[in-house]
Amino acid sequence: MSSTLVHLVDIPQRGDARGQLAVAELGGALPFPVRRVYWIHGTTPGVSRGFHAHKKLRQLCVCVAGSVRMSLFDGRREESVILDSHAKGLLIGPGLWREMHDFSPDCVLMVFASTEYDEGDYIRDRDQFIRHVAG
């Protein structure tokens, strides 16, 4: 088992005197080809999201504005990390229960995903997830 559930990658910054430019590309910050991009923004104050795991999907989450706390659980241990930088990405592989809490009002969370949307890849029941990772 990995020593940490939180895998952060540096997003290369190519800003200059004109302003900021950040790059996520295959072989750089992105360890997988991207088939889908979505972003979460305008989150209702106090709302938490997620509460699911994936069987196969890989994701890179970048909080390009504001902040959010990501909670990861592998069936035994839970770890949290605050994403508040456009220069850091959180890699989430399969077999991790994720929750998103404490969205700032200005939070924009970009998610780069390895597959198209597939409801069949989701595990939305926590007890079912625990059984899934147990074997």
**Catalytic member of 52, 86, 101, 132:** 52
Q: What is the dihedral of CA 94, 95, 101, 104, to 10 degrees?
A: -10
Stretch that binds ligand TYD, among 9-17, 44-52, 57-65, 127-135 (CB under 6 A): 44-52
Return the number of the residue (20 or 38) whose C-beta is nearest ligand TYD: 38
Return the number of the residue (7 or 52) whose C-beta is nearest ligand TYD: 52
The reply on whether position 117 binds ligand TYD by CB under 6 A is yes
| Span 68-107, contacts to ligand TYD by CB under 6 A | none
Is 52 in the active site?
yes
Query: Smallest distance, Å, CB 81 to ligand TYD?
Result: 17
The residue length of the chain stands at: 135
Q: Which of 7, 36, 86, 88 is in the footprint of ligand TYD by CB under 6 A?
A: 36
The reply on whether position 126 binds ligand TYD by CB under 6 A is no
The reply on whether position 38 binds ligand TYD by CB under 6 A is yes
Q: What is the DSSP string of 38-81?
A: EEEESPPTT--EEEEEESS--EEEEEEES-EEEEEE-SS-EEEE
How buried is residue 100: exposed, middle or buried, by Cβ count under 10 Å (0-12/13-18/19+)?
buried
- Residues 6+ away with beta carbon under 8 Å from 94: 53, 54, 55, 56, 57, 58
Residues within the interface to ligand TYD (CB under 6 A): 36, 38, 40, 49-50, 52, 117
Residues belonging to the active site: 52
